[in-house]
């Protein structure tokens, strides 16, 4: 059996964080770490050994938002290689902001629990 | 070097000898009446021949012509040695004509120092007529010099003008008889130089009869000459001078100078009118240009107003319609041409029947008498039943002068319908959402209570998440319903005297657990006397709970929220104060705006839909009160709820 995928989920809504974690653990057997804010997420991404293989980050968060998390991680040589997927309920994302953030893809809420892991992996390819 | 005989003396002699010459010719002609006499014919011929020549050289054409006739007749008689009676009669007529021409010439010609006043007056009169004929300066000067020649003896005459900065004067028109008339002269001299400069500086006429001639002055090196200089004024300013020069010493008298001054005055007058006419012409041109510009702008503006789908009119301060577009004519129901100039009373009379609410027209009549603007919505039944956005506002020009009032009606029926539809949609959707949500909530609650059997801890955790979010959704739906009810004015209120202290206590109790969980102290200051407001108790509690929840949410851990109230001008004001991070001024304007907060991340952080303040303000206003906020970043926020005080009995 293949090694489980190591993922980091960053979202300020604790309920959602719990549901995403359970979804990925239960449906795909991933190893999931979570962070409740942009700042905590960046910290975790830099200091986890071995580093996460994929990061899923909520766009709208107080303080450091998803775009900013993306920009900072992509600028840092330590984390620049990790694929990042944005997670949002909004269908009207600003395409320029999205492109400038360097994100690898977007997953829209509400998500289908059974397809989430597959969707994230496809976007990271 | 001999100088030419002074012209004036020759002419003086000529004029003086005219009478004797006429006498000689009359005597000779009378001797010839009965028979031919060679000696008399010879005398007549010589006198006529001589006069023809001299008069011609002085330019006195009519004298020369009559003398020429006599000369021709007498020569014939000498050749044929006889004369016919009709020829003698013709000669008599010619002599009579000659006599008349000579008298006329003597009356206008200048002869030595005895210059005829009649002639001078005649020239003054002619100069006056020059004024009305000539507008160009050079034309005036030339015409004046030509005419003045007849009454004033000079070799040279010139008009000099002061240049624009007043430092120099230059020759504008120069007449020199010795050089055959007007000659070009552009020479410029410093204002401090010469007699002309002095006349210009002092503004006083100058007369000199022994001026040392130089190369520059009449080319009379080494001789003494005569000169008169008359300064020319226009509107109290010396603009130049009129110069006369004569080769002979002692030529001009004080009387000559007086005349020169009179002539100068005439020229001044014509110059004055010339400048005036020029100025008027320029002003007219400028005005015409300005008028065209203004007209152009006006046309553009009117085209713009005409193209507008709003009905617009300008009511002048005189109560007449200064402007009205076609749409306004349609609204009033009169032809477009009849709108402008109609009295506002007439327009209102036509409009009166269209108003669903007659009071709406009375408001318009009132605002037209005032200096304040009013915007409102009115219902009209003509030309179709519609809701109009009405604006009545004073119009001012750039200097602030009241031009009248702008009255504008725009059909907003469609907008009103869209607004109504939106509110209804929100209301329907919210109601429809509540039913399934209630089922979801009830089922999840039953599962958690063990109605479906014992739950594994992981299952329990997930159902708790579901139940929390179902509650959140129900709160959001309720808030949306409240907002849409408030917007539509359909929220129902009971209005009764309510004890404020009791309401505050109830609200504090409802948020006590939330405050405790966040380690926030709630402190209510007891009022000095019981306060009663006219309100709906449950809705007031809703307002306070909203404000208190917000205050707790934004308070730091261990913070404090204060509540106090006081009476103020027929109202009771309650203040809810926190010491949180505060709200920036640009954000403060938006806190009561629905859906502004809905998107903001702060709502999720603090767990709410972001509609609480919108609803609280809507309720306060619906109850005849107000809700406003003050805040300072870093120091916290203060919300003030104002509610009408109950009558004290």
pLDDT at B100: 83
Structure ipTM: 0.74
Q: CB distance from B458 to chain A under 8 Å? A: yes
- Does the distance separating the beta carbons of A18 and B604 come in below 8 Å? no
Rounded to 10°, the helix B7-31/B85-108 angle is 150
Give tens-digit pLDDT for B558-574. 999 999 999 999 999 99
User: Rounded to 5 degrees, what are φ and ψ at B217?
Assistant: -105, 100
Residue of B467, B602, B604, B606 best to disrupt the A interface, most CBs of A under 10 A: B604
Residues of A within 8 A of B605 (CB-CB) are 12, 62
pLDDT > 80? residue B134: no
Query: Is A15 in contact with B601 (Cβ distance < 8 A)?
Result: no
B contact test, residue of A13, A27, A65, A94 with most B CBs within 10 A? A13
Which residue's entry shows tokens 């109230």? B565
On whether any CB of chain B is under 8 Å from the CB of A19, the answer is yes
Phi, psi values for residue B410, rounded to 5°: -125, 130
Which of B461, B469, B601 lies nearest to residue A60, judging by beta carbons?
B601
SS3 B176: strand
Mean pLDDT of chain B: 84
Query: Token pair for residue B192?
Result: 């401090």
Q: How far is Cα B197 from Cα B299, in angstroms, rounded to an integer?
A: 56
Q: Is pLDDT of B3 > 50?
A: no
* Average pLDDT score over residue span B443-456: 90
Q: Which of B362, B358, B414 minimizes the C-alpha distance to B381? A: B358
Q: Is A58 on the interface with B (CB under 8 A)?
A: no
pLDDT at residue B113, as a whole number: 39
Q: pLDDT of B343-400, one tens digit each? A: 999 999 999 989 999 899 999 999 998 888 899 999 999 888 999 999 999 988 888 8
Of A12, A19, A62, the CB nearest to B465: A19
Best of B466, B467, B600, B601 to substitute, by most chain A Cβ atoms within 10 angstroms, is: B601
Size (chain B), residues = 649
Determine contact: B237 vs chain A, CB below 8 A.
no
Q: What is the DSSP string of B535-604?
A: E-HHHHHHHHHHHHHHHHHTSPTT-EEEEEEEEETTEEEEEEE--SS---HHHHTTTTSTTTTTSSHHHH
pLDDT over 50 (residue B2) = no
| Chain B environment of A67 (Cβ under 8 Å) | none
- Alpha-carbon distance A52 to nearest alpha carbon in chain B (angstroms): 25
Q: Give the pLDDT band of residue B414 (cuts 50, 70, 90).
A: very high
Min Cα–Cα distance to chain B from A62, Å: 5
DSSP B445-513: HHHHTTTT-PPPHHHHHHHHHHHHHHHHHHHHHHHHHHHHHHHHT------EEEEHHHHHHHHHHHHHH
Instruction: Give Cβ neighbours of residue B502 (< 8 Å, ≥ 6 apart).
Output: none
- State the nearest Cα–Cα gap between A11 and chain B, in angstroms: 11
Instruction: List the single residue in B with minimal CA-CA distance to A66.
Output: B601
Angle, vertex CA A61, rays to CA A57 and CA A67, nearest 5:
55
Residue B3 contacts A, CB cutoff 8 Å: no
Could A22 and B462 be called an inter-chain contact, meaning their C-beta atoms sit closer than 8 Å? yes
Are B180 and B199 contacting, i.e. CB atoms less than 8 angstroms apart? no
Q: Which of B458, B469, B602 sits opposite A15 (nearest CB)?
A: B469
Instruction: For residue B604, give the nearest of A12, A19, A22 by CB distance.
Output: A12
Q: What is the pLDDT of residue B179?
A: 81
Residue range B624-633: mean pLDDT, rounded: 93
- CB within 8 Å: B469 and A60: no
Q: Which residues of B149-167 are buried (b: 16+ CB within 10 A; e: fewer)?
A: ebbbbbbbbbbbbbeeeee
Answer yes or no: are the C-beta atoms of B66 and B92 closer than 8 Å: no
Residue range B216-260, pLDDT digits in tens:
555 555 677 888 999 988 777 888 898 998 888 888 888 888 888
> In this predicted structure, what is the pLDDT of residue B222?
65
B602 neighbourhood in chain A, CB within 8 Å: 62
Predicted local distance difference test score (pLDDT) of residue B1: 36
Among the residue ranges A74-88, B206-220, B279-293, the one predicted with the least confidence is B206-220
What distances in angstroms separate CA A120 from CA A83, A113, A123, one per listed residue? 9, 12, 5
Which pLDDT belongs to residue B209?
Answer: 83
Residues of chain B with C-beta less than 8 angstroms from the C-beta of A22: 458, 462
Long-range contact set of residues B205-211: C-beta below 8 Å, sequence gap at least 24: B205/B229, B205/B230, B205/B231, B205/B257, B205/B260, B205/B261, B205/B264, B207/B252, B207/B254, B207/B256, B207/B257, B209/B249, B209/B250, B209/B251, B209/B252, B210/B249, B210/B250
Q: Structure tokens of B612?
A: 């609480």
Give the pLDDT means over successive 10-residue stretches in chain A (125 positions): 86 90 90 95 94 93 92 94 90 83 88 85 82
pLDDT digits (tens, 9 = 90+) for B498-520: 999 999 999 999 999 999 999 99
Kindly write down the DSSP assignment for every residue of B251-298, as one continuous string.
---HHHHHHHHHHHHHHHHHHHHHHHHHHHHHHHHHHHHHHHHHHHHH
Q: What b/e sequence results for B599-619 when a residue is b if at least 16 CB atoms lie within 10 Å of its CB, and e otherwise?
A: ebeebbebebbbbbbbbbbbb
What is the C-alpha to C-alpha distance for residues B345 and B350, in angstroms, rounded to an integer? 9
* B538 confidence band (pLDDT: 50, 70, 90): very high
Q: Please, are residues B541 and B503 in contact by the beta-carbon 8 Å criterion?
A: yes
B602 to chain A, any CB pair closer than 8 A? The answer is yes
Residues in A touching B469 (Cβ below 8 Å)? 15
**Which range has the worst mean pLDDT, B67-76, B89-98, B295-304?**
B295-304
Q: What percent of chain B is predicted at pLDDT more than 70?
A: 90
User: Could you tell me the pTM of the whole model?
Assistant: 0.49
- Give the sign of the dihedral formed by CA B148, CA B152, CA B157, CA B161: negative
pLDDT at B115: 58
B203, pLDDT greater than 60:
yes
pLDDT of B264 higher than 50: yes
CB-based contact, B599 to chain A, within 8 Å: yes
* φ, ψ (nearest 5 deg) of residue B96: -65, -40
In this structure, what token pair is assigned to residue B226? 């005569």
**How close B463 comes to chain A (CA, Å)?**
11
Backbone phi, then psi, for A81, in 5-degree steps?
-85, -5
What whole-number distance in Å separates Cα of residue B123 and Cα of residue B266? 10
Provide the chain A residues 83-122 that lie in CB contact (below 8 A) with chain B: none
* Residue among A18, A19, A61 minimizing CB distance to B601: A61
Most confident segment among B158-172, B255-269, B611-625: B611-625
Distance, in angstroms, between B421 CA and closest chain A CA? 24
- How far away is chain A from the Cα of B300, in angstroms, using its nearest Cα? 41
Contacts with B604 from chain A: Cβ below 8 Å? 12-13, 60, 62
pLDDT higher at B42 or B129? B42
């Amino acid at each position: 059996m293949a090694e489980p995928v190591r993922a980091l989920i960053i979202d300020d809504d604790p309920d959602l964080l719990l549901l995403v974690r359970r979804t990925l653990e239960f449906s795909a057997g991933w190893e999931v770490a979570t962070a409740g804010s942009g700042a905590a997420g960046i910290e975790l991404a830099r200091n986890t050994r071995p580093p996460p293989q994929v990061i899923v980050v909520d766009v709208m968060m107080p303080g450091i938002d998803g775009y900013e998390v993306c920009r900072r991680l992509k600028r840092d040589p330590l984390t620049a290689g990790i694929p990042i997927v944005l997670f949002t309920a909004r269908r009207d994302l600003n395409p320029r902001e999205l492109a400038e953030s360097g994100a690898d893809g977007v997953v829209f809420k509400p998500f289908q629990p059974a397809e989430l892991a597959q969707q994230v992996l496809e976007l990271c390819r | 070097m001999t100088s030419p005989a002074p012209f004036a003396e020759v002419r003086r002699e000529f004029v003086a000898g005219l009478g004797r010459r006429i006498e000689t010719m009359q005597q000779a002609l009378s001797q010839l009446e009965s028979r031919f006499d060679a000696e008399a014919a010879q005398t007549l011929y010589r006198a006529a021949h001589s006069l023809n020549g001299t008069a011609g050289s002085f330019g006195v054409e009519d004298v020369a012509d009559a003398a020429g006739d006599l000369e021709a007749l007498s020569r014939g008689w000498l050749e044929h040695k006889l004369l016919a009676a009709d020829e003698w009669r013709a000669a008599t007529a010619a002599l009579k004509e000659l006599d008349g021409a000579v008298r006329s010439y003597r009356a206008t010609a200048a002869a030595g120092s005895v210059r005829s006043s009649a002639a001078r007056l005649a020239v003054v009169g002619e100069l006056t007529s020059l004024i009305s004929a000539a507008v160009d300066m050079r034309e005036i000067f030339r015409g004046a010099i030509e005419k003045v020649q007849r009454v004033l003896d000079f070799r040279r005459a010139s008009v000099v003008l002061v240049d624009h900065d007043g430092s120099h004067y230059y020759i504008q028109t120069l007449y020199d008889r010795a050089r055959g008339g007007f000659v070009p002269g552009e020479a410029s001299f410093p204002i401090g130089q010469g007699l002309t400069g002095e006349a210009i500086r002092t503004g006083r006429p100058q007369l000199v009869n022994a001026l040392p001639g130089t190369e520059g002055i009449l080319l009379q090196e080494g001789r003494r000459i005569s000169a008169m200089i008359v300064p020319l004024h226009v509107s109290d300013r010396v603009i130049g001078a009129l110069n006369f020069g004569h080769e002979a010493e002692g030529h001009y008298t004080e009387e000559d100078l007086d005349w020169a001054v009179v002539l100068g005055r005439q020229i001044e007058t014509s110059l004055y009118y010339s400048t005036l006419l020029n100025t008027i012409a320029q002003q007219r041109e400028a005005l015409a240009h300005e008028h065209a510009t203004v007209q152009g702008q006006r046309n553009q503006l009117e085209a713009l107003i005409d193209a507008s789908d709003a009905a617009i009119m300008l009511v002048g301060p005189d109560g007449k319609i200064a402007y009205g577009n076609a749409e306004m004519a349609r609204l009033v129901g009169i032809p477009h041409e009849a709108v402008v100039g109609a009295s506002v009373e007439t327009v209102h009379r036509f409009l009166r029947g269209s108003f669903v609410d007659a009071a709406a027209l009375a408001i318009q009549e009132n605002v037209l008498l005032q200096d304040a603007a009013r915007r409102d919505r009115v219902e009209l039944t003509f030309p179709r039943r519609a809701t109009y956005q009405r604006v009545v506002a004073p119009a001012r020009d750039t200097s602030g002068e009241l031009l009248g009032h702008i009255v504008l009606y725009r059909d907003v029926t469609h907008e009103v319908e869209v607004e109504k539809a939106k509110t209804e949609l929100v209301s329907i959707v919210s109601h429809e959402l509540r039913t399934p949500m209630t089922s979801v909530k009830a089922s999840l609650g039953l599962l958690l209570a063990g109605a479906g059997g014992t739950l594994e801890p992981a299952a329990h955790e997930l159902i708790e998440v579901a139940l929390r979010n179902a509650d959140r959704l129900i709160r959001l739906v309720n808030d949306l319903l409240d907002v849409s009810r408030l917007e539509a004015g359909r929220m129902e209120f009971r209005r009764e005297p309510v004890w404020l202290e009791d309401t505050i206590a109830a609200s504090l109790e409802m948020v006590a657990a939330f405050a405790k969980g966040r380690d926030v102290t709630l402190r209510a200051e007891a009022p000095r006397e019981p306060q009663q407001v006219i309100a709906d108790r449950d809705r007031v509690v809703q307002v306070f709970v909203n404000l208190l929840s917000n205050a707790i949410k934004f308070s730091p851990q261990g913070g404090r929220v204060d509540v106090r109230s006081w009476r103020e001008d027929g109202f009771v004001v309650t203040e809810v104060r926190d010491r949180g991070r505060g709200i920036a001024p640009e954000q403060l304007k938006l806190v009561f705006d629905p859906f502004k907060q809905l998107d903001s991340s702060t709502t999720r952080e603090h767990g709410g839909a972001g509609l609480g303040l919108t609803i609280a303000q809507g309720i306060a206003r619906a109850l005849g009160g107000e809700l406003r906020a003050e805040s300072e970043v870093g120091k916290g926020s203060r919300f003030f709820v104002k509610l009408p005080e109950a009558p004290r009995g």
